[in-house]
Amino acid sequence: MGYLVTGGTGFVGAHVVRALLQDAEQVIAYDIIPDQNLLEKLMGKEMCNRVTVVRGDITDLAHLIHTCREHNVETVIHTAATLSSDNPYLTLRVNCEGTVNVLEAGRILGMKRVVLTSSISVYGPQDKYEEEFISNDAPHYPHSLYSASKSLNETYASHYFREYGLDTITIRLAHVYGLGRSRGLGRLVDDELFVKPALGKPGKVPYSDSTHNYMYIEDAARVLVMASRVRKTKTRAFTAGGDSISTAELAAYIRSLIPGADITLLPGHLAWAHRFDSTPLREEVGFTPEWTIQEGVMKYIEQIRADNQATGK
């Protein structure tokens, strides 16, 4: 009996796959366009060979169920999604219908648990809330189709738990950074703030009047794996926050690590919530972040340089 990780060769999914393999789990990486490059970077070819990679679309329920049956899957960690809001039909089909398919597969096959990834973007702007630290059960004010789809998926997960007894846990991830990020609005910030300065190139960071809640990718993978194993929780969806820091403060720290780094902060503001009360996650799942923003950024810069040296790019 094993795990199926949707989006298993993508950014978050690949790190989840590695974390599971390190614990000697049987893992199926299910992806619409499988690319094992990141898996090999993270764990090497020998360890990568222990992963069963399946080309599959989460909007294809029949194939999803067939794959789970064939490989005796008892737990799904669902990371697959489209991050763009440019195509409303695609957002609905992949993020919402695809998630319902994952839940439906879990129901039909009587799975042990389905873990869904949500986003802190469901909360919308920080100024929507009177409290400094947004409570775990605070109302949602999504500001994009992506964040609205994640909010809806939390409702679907609760429905499947309540009506069908499928054990679901949803984790709202903060701004996840680290090796392998290739999509999304956050990547525009990360490439200019982390990647280019690490490689000695000038970075022009957009939306630099913003404050973000950053979570290192290894913490993001760890909380999803922990959520897959914990005993049944009273809470169905948890906020997993990291460190809240302004772009200007983070740029100053990077300059201290890379003397002479050419970082230009461009004006602009992303109205994202960034301070959260993660008490339920700590008490029910047992998770607290292991990586501070300073430790995570230092590690990320090392990885960027090592990857650049290995690939010659």
The tokens describing 278, both together, are 């993660």
Q: Which residue has the tokens 């809330």?
A: 129
Instruction: Report residue 282 as tokens.
Output: 């700590």
Residue 46, classed as helix, strand or coil, is helix
Distance CA 133, CA 51 (A): 40
Size of the chain in residues: 313
| Neighbouring residues of 222: CB distance < 8 A, sequence distance ≥ 6 | 19, 287, 290
CA distance 150 to 119: 7
Of 211, 264, 204, which Cα lies nearest the Cα of 241? 211
What interhelical angle do 98-109 and 61-70 show, nearest 10? 40
Q: What residue ranges do the domains of the chain occupy? A: 2-178+214-243+271-290
Strand order in the sheet with 211-216: 175-177, 211-216, 243-246
258: nearest Cα among 301, 209, 309: 301
Nearest alpha-carbon partner for 255 in 206, 205, 292, 310: 205
How many Å separate Cα 301 from the centre of its chain? 20
Pull the structure tokens for residue 35.
Answer: 């690319």
Report CA torsion sign: 114, 233, 17, 214.
positive
Q: What's the pLDDT at 274?
A: 95
Structure tokens at 102: 């994952």
Q: What is the pLDDT along the chain (313 residues), one digit of tens a residue?
A: 799 999 999 999 999 999 999 999 999 999 999 989 999 999 998 899 999 999 999 999 999 999 999 999 999 999 999 987 789 999 999 999 999 999 999 999 999 999 999 999 999 999 999 999 999 999 999 999 999 999 999 999 999 999 999 999 999 999 999 999 877 777 889 999 999 999 999 999 999 999 999 999 999 999 999 999 999 999 999 999 999 999 999 999 999 999 999 999 999 988 889 999 999 999 999 999 999 999 999 999 999 999 998 876 5
Q: How far is residue 253's CA from residue 171's CA, in Å, rounded to a whole number?
A: 29
What's the pLDDT score for residue 312? 67
Do β-strands 2-6 and 27-31 pair in parallel, antiparallel, or remain unpaired? parallel
For 28: left if phi > 0, alpha if psi spans -120 to 50, otherwise beta; the answer is beta
Query: Does CATH number 3.40.50.720 belong to domain 2-178+214-243+271-290?
Result: yes
User: Nearest 5 degrees, angle CA 177-CA 181-CA 183?
Assistant: 120
- 216 DSSP assignment: E
- Residue 313 is predicted with a pLDDT of 56
Closest CA to 159 of 117, 121, 123, 114: 114
How many CA atoms does the CB half-sphere of 102 hold within 13 Å? 37
Closest by Cα among 71, 66, 65 to 51: 71
For 51, the 3-state DSSP assignment is coil
Please give the span between the terminal C-alpha atoms of the chain, in angstroms, as a whole number.
Answer: 40
